[in-house]
Amino acid sequence: MVGGEYGPGVQKAMNFLIEYGEAFDANKMVNVQSAHILPDPINMLEEITEGVEEVKTMASIHSGSPLNSNWAETLGLETENAGPVIQDAFRAYDIYKNIGCMMTVSCAPYTMGNVLKKGNVFSWAGSSGIIINNSVFGARGNRDSGLAMTASAITGRTPEIGRIRDEERYGEVLVRFQKIDFETITQADLGAIGYHIGEVAQTKNVVIDGLPNTIPFESLKYLLSPMPVSGAVSMCHIVGVTPEAPSVEVALGNRKPELEISVRPSDIVKGHSLLNGYKSTDVEVVMMGCPHLTIREMGELAKRLSGKRISDKVKLFLATNEGIYNLSKRMGYLDTIQDAGGLVITDSCIAVFPFANMKEPVTNVATNSSRCAHYLLRGGAGEIVGGKVMGTFHGSTEQCVNAALTGKWEEK
């Protein structure tokens, strides 16, 4: 492939993967069974796909700025002066579709068919999907970024580094719980715990002991997805859940952990305090769906909103993908949510919601997602790409729905 016999795009992609491998001391390339791509800037994309007819593996597309979606107008966004970041997005989508990428346009492509099993190797964008793949499905992959995912999709290869290698998957930080009641805990509390663990573990692998293995997938989504936000965790063994973690000892590779921590109720309080920052309790927007809402969450939200009407001072944005959107429509959830005044959107990442582009200015936002709250408090990547530092409320789904109904934030 480096000789150019498969065309200039594949050659460029392979050279990039070799450089990536060298940076992390790879000995060889391995096949990937799945890619998930955050679209590259158009000039880079045109170069790397030159001569490419079809991707070599299952590949899907990540969510993007709501400015790049068909929902921009409905959301009240000004797209005229949205800048260089979005202008070529739809062209990039066409290129990816033409080489066979699945247009999931979602951070949760596992709800639309890009699903992995133990032993599969993946090259994915989306730090929440990556930690879920490694920790829940037992697949193997790293925190890929930049050109790596497109390069892997069109070559079918990735360097054998990091979490692909047995010896770099074992746990290093052992987490246990003290006085945490998993019967009553909210998903936002789990998010606050994950945020705390990520800050402590940084780039290290985590082992969590003491979670009931009946815990629903959605709760794991909220627990795991903040770890690569406050830190850079890509592997979190959950003893009794992760395929490679039948016991603490096996998850640790029969070694002593480098660090042991106990998570107490005070850590949940601390996590929440880092994820909340507001001056008044007036809520103007409520956003949920970071990572994208599953069908179970859509059903629960429809039930909570059934027969009710949100405050006319509040906008309720619920983010998911086209697969869940269509199933929600069939189930009547969509009608129920819309009748209550909510808006379900697709293709959009709400963590980088371009509040600077809102035609009617918004100051305060509530969310049940720790990931989302972290980025709202920091204004994403900045004003030039629509970012704005927001007054942010982080709490349970119940608190968020109540805030949508009343326009006021109430502490638990």
Which positions touch another protein (CB under 8 A)? 16, 19-20, 22-24, 38, 40-41, 44, 84-85, 124-127, 130, 142-148, 161-162, 198, 202-203, 228-232, 351-352, 374-375, 377-385, 387, 389
Q: How far is CA 385 from CA 146, 358, 365, 370, in A?
A: 18, 12, 18, 22
Q: Encoding tokens for residue 397?
A: 């789904």
Q: Other C-beta atoms within 10 Å of 247: how many?
A: 13
Output the smallest distance, CB 41 to another protein, in A: 5
Instruction: Please name which of 214, 164, 128 lies closest in space to residue 24, comparing C-alpha atoms.
Output: 164
For residue 316, list its beta bridge partners.
Answer: 286, 342
The CA distance from 198 to 258, in Å, is 15
Q: Which strand (E) or helix (H) includes residue 158?
A: strand 157-159
Output the smallest distance, CB 229 to another protein, in A: 6
Output the smallest distance, CB 239 to another protein, in A: 24
Output the smallest distance, CB 23 to another protein, in A: 5
Write the single-letter amino acid at 78. E
Output the smallest distance, CB 124 to another protein, in A: 8
Residues 6+ apart with CB under 8 A from 99: 49, 52, 53, 54, 55, 154
Radius of gyration of the CA atoms of the chain, in A: 21
Mapped onto helix, strand or coil, the DSSP state of residue 298 is helix
Output the smallest distance, CB 322 to another protein, in A: 21
Output the smallest distance, CB 160 to another protein, in A: 13
CB environment 183-216: b (16+ within 10 A), e (fewer): eebbbbbbbbbbbbbbbbbeebbbbbbbbeeebe
Check whether the bond before 291 is cis (ω within 30° of 0).
yes
Residue pointed to by tokens 């029969």: 254
Of the pair 272, 304, the CB lying nearest another protein is at 272
Of the pair 58, 229, the CB lying nearest another protein is at 229
Output the smallest distance, CB 92 to another protein, in A: 11
Residue pointed to by tokens 């980088």: 352
Residue pointed to by tokens 């980025």: 375
Of the pair 162, 407, the CB lying nearest another protein is at 162
Of the pair 192, 351, the CB lying nearest another protein is at 351
Of the pair 136, 385, the CB lying nearest another protein is at 385
Of the pair 7, 41, the CB lying nearest another protein is at 41
Of the pair 259, 296, the CB lying nearest another protein is at 259
Q: Encoding tokens for residue 13?
A: 């992609």
Output the smallest distance, CB 232 to another protein, in A: 5
Of the pair 328, 348, the CB lying nearest another protein is at 348
Of the pair 105, 248, the CB lying nearest another protein is at 105
Output the smallest distance, CB 310 to another protein, in A: 29
The CA distance from 364 to 277, in Å, is 9
Of the pair 378, 408, the CB lying nearest another protein is at 378
CB environment 71-110: b (16+ within 10 A), e (fewer): bbeebebebeebeebbebbeebbebbeebbbbebbbbbbb
DSSP string, 343-402: EEEESB-GGG--GGGBSS---EEEES-HHHHHHHHHTTT-GGGT----EEEE--HHHHHH
